[in-house]
């Protein structure tokens, strides 16, 4: 439980905080319409579909810890995306 709380606060919280701060700072608080996808955007989209399927399989197998591992893998990639594109 402590690890999950830590991951939630550090990884996911960091991603949300950074994303919202950038929208406020650079876009006057308005989320822009999606533009053309580059290779990084396509990679994140593909991963999102893979993770969704993996999470569904893990949950069907009564493996919530494994499902959370998949979710955190996606959150880590989203944080990396922000680092690469900011």
Q: At residue 85, does pLDDT exceed 90?
A: no
pTM for this prediction:
0.78
Task: Answer whether 12's CB lies under 8 Å from 4's CB.
Answer: no
Residues 6+ apart with CB under 8 A from 55: 67, 70, 71
Residue 48 pLDDT grade (very low, low, confident, very high; cuts 50, 70, 90) = very high
Residue holding tokens 């919530």?
64
Counting beta carbons within 10 angstroms of the beta carbon of residue 33, is it exposed (0 to 12), middle (13 to 18) or buried (19 or more)? exposed
Choice between 57 and 17, residue whose per-residue pLDDT is larger? 57
Q: What are the structural domain ranges in the chain?
A: 2-85
Domain 2-85 part of CATH 1.10.730.10: yes
What is the reported pLDDT for 1? 67
Write out the two tokens for 74: 């996606």
3-22 average pLDDT score? 83
């Amino acid at each position: 439980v402590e690890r999950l709380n830590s991951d939630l606060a550090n990884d996911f919280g960091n991603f949300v905080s950074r994303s919202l701060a950038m929208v406020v700072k650079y876009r006057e608080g308005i989320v822009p319409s999606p533009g053309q996808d580059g290779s990084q955007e396509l990679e994140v989209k593909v991963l999102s579909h893979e993770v969704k399927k993996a999470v569904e399989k893990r949950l069907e197998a009564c493996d919530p810890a494994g499902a959370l591992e998949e979710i955190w893998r996606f959150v880590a990639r989203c944080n990396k995306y922000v680092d690469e594109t900011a």
